[in-house]
Amino acid sequence: MYMQQSPQPLLSIIIPTLNEVKHLPHLLGEINKQTDISLEIMVADGGSSDTTRAVAEEYGAAFVTARRGRGAQMNAAARVVSGDYFLFLHADSRIDDPALLSDAVRALMSEMGDFDRVAGHFPLRFMRSTKRNAMAYRYAEEKTTFNRVNTTNGDQGLLLTRGFFKDLGGFDESMPFLEDQRIAEKIRSEGRWITLPGYLNTSARRFEAEGFHRRYILMGMIMGLHSVGAEAFFVRAPGVYRLQQDTGRLFLSPFFCLIRQMMRDEWGFAGTIRIFYHLGRYIRQNSWQMFFFIDVWLRSLLGAGRYPFLKFHDRLFWPCTNFKLFDAVIGVLCFVWFMGILAPVFRFLDYREQTLQERSTGNSGRI
């Protein structure tokens, strides 16, 4: 059923898991079909209560247990694998092409030359069970072909040399999430990203269960607050999220309530102004995404690989808006949009949806 792993592998594939028995067999089976490359597979588990370990061993993967949290799990695996190259993959990834990994390693070798501080990621294709939000998924997929700030995450895979990973200090283990974003930006500052040939398939399960736009709004909130160093949000947010994990639908109003609490109890008036000013700068730095969205929206008219609106942003819009006053203006608009419009809207929508859920299940509990 499985391919015997090489005693001296070129590539070590590290897969963090937590109760992934549903998805892991598919990925391991596809890895075992990879051609023209010597590899080893290491499943880094955070305490699964299902048969994840048995599945890993059935497909010939090695298994290591670690403290729960993707960063800690992947670091633990990296300490015991033996390949010269590391590839970190999520368990719900899927691989169509049996030459994907050998082509990826060759592409990375070709880009490195005498400079080994290069990392690669794959473009994504979402595996969906519905045709809803087709435009939004197309935008998200096409964005993964770029190497701009905040466009690279763990779903896209991370391929790099053992030495570069060691120089980066591994993954940040201080929080149970965002380890991928933190190492991605560290790679950007200390080395160089490339887009690898081919693509990875990834599950759209979270987007579909929680709602694409709700998940995307929360991701934007998380990345914005992470960029301005609002660490208190990340200490409290996992608890807020756990309270609603069983509901399926993502409710955003608890996160807006959390931000209001921090504004009142921790940031204060001056701190809130400072936070939203820096959020304004973060939004302006990512303003290219709005122009990129227009290019994707007009793809059928523009043709593949053409980005006239993105070029307009880079050549004209960005130079004309690159000053602090504009950051302040965007910060004010950010506050109005998120706290003055989205917060009350989702308070109403969440209340309505939760009421419908309670009526259908007979459960009167509140988030």
Q: What is the pLDDT of residues 152-166, one digit of tens each?
A: 999 999 999 999 999
* Span 242-267, average pLDDT: 82
The strands making up 200-203's β-sheet, listed across from edge to edge, are 93-94, 200-203, 124-127
Contacts of 17 (CB under 8 A, 6+ apart): 24, 43, 44, 45, 46, 48, 52, 56, 73, 91
Return the number of other C-beta atoms located less than 10 Å from residue 286's C-beta: 18
Q: Is the pLDDT of residue 2 over 70?
A: no
Distance CA 206, CA 128 (A): 10
DSSP 128: -
Q: How would residue 184 be classed by pLDDT, with cut points 50, 70 and 90?
A: very high
End-to-end distance of the chain based on CA atoms, in angstroms? 45
Per the structure block, which two tokens stand in for 113? 């030359």
The pLDDT score that the predictor gives to residue 362 is: 66
Per the structure block, which two tokens stand in for 106? 């060759």
Contact 275, 266 (CB under 8 A): no
The more confident residue out of 140 and 114 is: 140
Domains of the chain by start residue, with CATH: 11-206 (3.90.550.10), 211-361 (no CATH)
Closest CA to 31 of 48, 52, 7, 11: 11
The pLDDT score that the predictor gives to residue 149 is: 85
Per the structure block, which two tokens stand in for 54? 């048995």
pTM above 0.75, yes or no: yes
Distance CA 309, CA 319 (A): 15
The pLDDT score that the predictor gives to residue 360 is: 74
Say whether 139 sits in a helix, a strand or coil: helix
* Span 24-52, average pLDDT: 96
Contact 122, 90 (CB under 8 A): no
Distance CA 202, CA 216 (A): 16
Distance CA 272, CA 278 (A): 10
Q: How would residue 177 be classed by pLDDT, with cut points 50, 70 and 90?
A: confident
* Span 231-256, average pLDDT: 75
Distance CA 132, CA 284 (A): 29
- Give the relative orientation of helices 253-262 and 212-227 as an angle to the nearest 10 degrees: 20
Contact 282, 227 (CB under 8 A): yes
Place of tokens 């959020």: 279
Q: How would residue 234 be classed by pLDDT, with cut points 50, 70 and 90?
A: confident
The pLDDT score that the predictor gives to residue 63 is: 96
Per the structure block, which two tokens stand in for 243? 């309270």
Span of 35-49, 190-204, 242-256 with lowest mean pLDDT:
242-256
Closest CA to 8 of 98, 85, 74: 85
CA-based max dimension of the chain = 65
Distance CA 300, CA 185 (A): 33
